[in-house]
A and B are shown apart, each in its own frame.
Chain A
Amino acid sequence: MRGRATLHAWLMLGPAMLLLVAFTHYPVVATFWHSFFSTPRGARPSRFVGVENYEVLAADPIFWQALTNNLIYALGTVPISIALALAMALWVNGRIPGKAALRVAYFTPTVLPMIAVANLWLFFYTPDYGLVDRLTHFLLGWGATNWIGSQETALGAMMVIAVWKEAGFFMIFYLAALQAIPPVLYEAAAVEGASRWEVFRRVTLPLLGPTTLFIAVNALINGFRLVDHIIVMTKGGPDNATALLLTYIYEVGFRFWDTAQASALTMVLLLILMLVALAQFTFLGRRTHYR
């Protein structure tokens, strides 16, 4: 009887386990392993080189630029998209006419494929006759700007797209969390004389804590992961101004075919993501109230 139950359990777990091992766990371990070997080329098979790949990485100025870019990208997009998501959720959670249409409108960017989004924004950013330039010309009287073609503006332009794409998705989570807060708590706060700002700061925000933590972890991971539009629009250029860790891994691995170097890079990225998630769960998690 017991053996049968165990067998059933394994049968149930099997399919998911198989896929996870094949496409997640094995690649992670294999990458870790490969990062200590040289790249095999033609007649030269790969050989153990210790931490040489990591030493090369540390000396690589493009790696450091990609890392810096990625930090700016993450620290810029995460707070802005979370703040925007919360603001939109509060707005469409209120009693306003046409809120169903507004919710759909805010959620639309999430539904669009990133490749389509990239092409859309390519047009927006087109110098002179693109939407952005038309607007800046009309409102501020600026001339033509090559938004994604100049080093000063390219990273910022990519960040705007990421925020635009993500905020609507996070809004849905905030909206669900807002609707789970019992209205009687707001009535109690009203009787106690709390101002709107106090109600937000002392009731709404703390009760959204678990949602904020969830969104923050996801947003930060996306900050290192969501690069489709960069591949399509700038390929990391101009002069590595929009190079992020993941685009650099792609370039090293699949354009230069230096797989060993790419493995080492991947391990660095994984390490960063793990540390980030760990830090968030310990620091934010301690201050978060779970119902």
Chain B
Amino acid sequence: MNPTDGRGAAIRLDAVRKQFGDTVALHDITLDAAPGSLVVLLGPSGCGKSTLLRVLAGLEEATGGTVHLGGRDVTGLPPAARGISMVFQSYALFPHLTVAENILFGLRARKVARAERDARLARTAAMMGLDKLLERRPGQLSGGQQQRVALARAIVAEAPVCLMDEPLSNLDAKLRAEMRHEIRSLQQRLGLTMVYVTHDQVEAMSMADQVVLMRDGRIEQDATPAELYARPATAFAAGFIGTPPMALLRLEAGPGGACIAGAPEHAVAPAEAAGALLGLRPEDVAPTNGHGLPATVTSAEFLGAETVLRCAVGSEVVQARIPGHQVMTPGSPIRLRLPPPAHLFDHATGRRLPLPVHAPALA
């Protein structure tokens, strides 16, 4: 029962399917995760990410397909026999037990000898900063402390795979950033394979080795955070990642090439791109005094270090993330410098399109 057991993939899902009556929650999910990696299941609510985690845990039985953990087929096994630990969204602490009893619950159930139990408790409590709270009950702890107890209970099990179901969603923003960092360093220090469910793309991008973006029970893209950011595989992935996410603009055929719908004067991409969606990262768009795409400011959102401008171009909206505090009155005209077209998506299927070979002179 240690992380090196699973040679090759620590987690391997093959065509996992889950149906509740007539509704299909998961469509043939196939997925590999390397030992010691942190995999984030990301997606909007109802995309099936929590269901997938519960199938991994054995709390839900897969309707089809196989689940391998550490090279072992666990498809039919109960949760306890899978070599996993789990942190629940609501923490699921036992309200009548003290912190120490909560942490040791699993070790007592597994008949671990008392001396070892105590040693592991001391070690875990010290690691999680819970030494002084061991005699308290969950009701006497703050949300952040309860979260630590839930983590400690998962870690003390020393299971090779740790599953987390939106563990930070009940914490305030500051604590969430702290815990994010802490969970990541813990995972790396202990060499755990971790599957982490969240709907927060910041959590996903900042923590993950591998992000599995899901939508409607299917995997939309399975990639590293860098890849997901640099080359989103679909328009959905493009529109999900980034703060604010990539703007998707409809392109039409214009006199000088493809141009943004409703603004035919300025070509922004080669003529072949007409009809596709152009993805523009707000951080790549900047206002300019010289030649640029004419637009109208509709709103300016000041975020401290930067300002996000929303600008109308034809019938579409372009966003620009610019440093500092920019005072712009809505309705004022502006000229925008766009990057060379880097992301094109099929308008109907949302699939990423290859870029046209020659980059023309742009607006």
Q: Which residues of A contact B (CB under 8 A)?
A: 182, 184-185, 187-195, 198, 202-203, 206-207, 209, 289, 291
Q: How far is the CB of B331 from chain A (nearest CB, A)?
A: 51
> Would you call A184 and B92 a contact (CB within 8 A)?
yes
Of the residues B88, B110, B137, contact of A188 by C-beta under 8 Å: B88
The 8 A CB mask of B215-243 against A (1 = contact, 0 = none) is 00000000000000000000000000000
Given known pairs A184-B88, A202-B105, the reply for A191 and B80 (CB within 8 Å) is: yes
A191 and B90 in contact, given A207-B95, A289-B96, A291-B95 (Cβ under 8 angstroms): no
Question: Within 8 Å CB of B143, what residues of A?
Answer: none
| Chain B interface residues (CB < 8 Å from chain A) | 57, 59, 78-81, 84-86, 88, 90, 92, 94-97, 105-106, 109-110, 137, 139, 153, 157
Query: Chain B contacts of A182 at CB under 8 A?
Result: 90, 92
- Which of B59, B81, B153 has the most chain A CB atoms inside 10 A of its CB? B59
Chain A residues within 8 Å of B106, by CB: 191-194
Instruction: Kindly state the separation between the CA atoms of A151 and B110 in the bound complex, as whole angstroms.
Output: 52
Write 25 A-B pairs (CB below 8 A) sorted by A numbering: A184-B92, A185-B92, A187-B59, A187-B79, A188-B92, A189-B105, A190-B79, A191-B59, A191-B80, A191-B85, A191-B106, A192-B105, A192-B153, A192-B157, A193-B79, A194-B80, A202-B94, A202-B97, A202-B105, A203-B94, A207-B96, A209-B96, A289-B95, A289-B96, A291-B95
Query: Which A residues lie within 8 Å of B97 (CB)?
Result: 202, 206
User: Would B94 and A185 count as touching, CB distance under 8 A?
Assistant: yes
Known: A182-B90, A184-B88, A187-B88. A192 touches B95 (CB 8 A): no
Determine if A193 and B110 form an interchain contact, defined as CB atoms under 8 angstroms apart. Answer: yes
Chain A residues closer than 8 Å to B79, beta-carbon distance: 187, 190-191, 193
Bound Cα distance from A185 to B102, whole angstroms: 11
Closest chain-A Cβ to B39's Cβ sits at a distance in Å of: 18
Within 8 Å CB of A192, what residues of B?
Answer: 80, 105-106, 109-110, 153, 157
A195 to chain B, nearest CB (A): 7
Distance (Å) between the CB of B36 and the closest chain A CB?
A: 21
> Pick the contact of A195 from B109, B139, B153 — CB < 8 Å?
B109
Closest residue to B90 on the A side, CB-wise?
A: A184
| Complex interface: chain A residues within 8 A of B109 (CB) | 189, 192-195, 198
Q: Is the interface of A mostly helix, strand, loop or mixed?
A: helix
CB distance from A69 to the nearest CB of B (A): 38
**Nearest CB of chain B from residue A229's CB, rounded to whole Å:** 38
Number of A-B contacts (CB under 8 A): 63
Cα distance, A202 to B107, chains bound together (Å): 13
Is there an interface contact between B57 and A191, defined as CB atoms closer than 8 Å?
Answer: yes
Task: For B96, list chain A residues within 8 Å (CB).
Answer: 206-207, 209, 289
Q: How far is the CB of B111 from chain A (nearest CB, A)?
A: 10
On chain A, the residues within 8 Å of B153 by CB distance are 192
CA distance A192 to B105 in the complex (A): 7
CB-based nearest B residue for A187:
B59
Q: Could you say which of B84, B94, B95, B137 contacts A191, with CB atoms under 8 Å apart?
A: B84
The residue on A at minimum CB distance from B105 is A192
Q: Which residues of B contact A193 (CB under 8 A)?
A: 79-81, 106, 109-110
Across the interface, name the chain A residue whose C-beta is closest to B96.
A289
6 closest cross-chain pairs (CB), A and B: A192-B106, A193-B80, A289-B96, A188-B92, A194-B109, A206-B96
Output the residue of A192, A194, A195, A202 with the most chain B CB within 10 A.
A192
A190 and B92 form a contact (CB under 8 A): no
A284 shortest CB reach to chain B, Å: 14
**Complex alpha-carbon distance, A289 and B92, angstroms:** 16
B223 shortest CB reach to chain A, Å: 29
A200 to chain B, nearest CB (A): 12
**CA separation between A206 and B96, bound complex, in Å?**
7
Shortest Cβ distance from A192 into B: residue: B106
Q: How far is the CB of B100 from chain A (nearest CB, A)?
A: 14
Identity of the chain B residue whose Cβ is nearest the Cβ of A199 in the assembled complex: B109
Closest to B59 in A: A187
Q: B residues within 8 A CB of A190?
A: 59, 78-80
Q: Name the distance in Å between B146's Cβ and chain A's nearest Cβ.
A: 13
Residues of chain A within 8 A of B139, CB atoms compared: 291
Contacts of A189 in B (CB 8 A): 105, 109
Q: In chain A, what residue has the closest Cβ to B102?
A: A188
Q: In the complex, how many angstroms separate the beta carbon of B60 from the nearest chain A beta carbon?
A: 10
Closest to B110 in A: A193
CB distance from A115 to the nearest CB of B (A): 42
- In the bound complex, residues from chain A placing their C-beta under 8 Å from that of B95 are 207, 289, 291
- Enumerate chain B residues within 8 angstroms of A206, measured Cβ to Cβ: 96-97
Nearest-CB distance from B8 to chain A (Å)? 25
Residues of B within 8 Å of A194, CB to CB, are 80, 105-106, 109
A121 to B282, CA, bound (A): 83
If A191-B84, A193-B79, A193-B109 are given as contacts, then 10 extra A-B residue pairs at C-beta distance below 8 Å, sorted by A number, are A184-B90, A190-B59, A190-B80, A191-B80, A193-B110, A194-B80, A194-B106, A202-B105, A206-B96, A206-B97
B107 and chain A: residue at smallest CB distance: A192
Q: Which of B90, B109, B137 has the most CB of A within 10 A?
A: B109
B167 to chain A, nearest CB (A): 13
What is the CA–CA distance of A207 and B97 in the complex, to the nearest angstrom?
Answer: 10
Q: Say whether B86 contacts A191, CB under 8 Å.
A: yes
Closest to A206 in B: B96
| Bound-complex Cα distance A195 to B92 (A) | 18
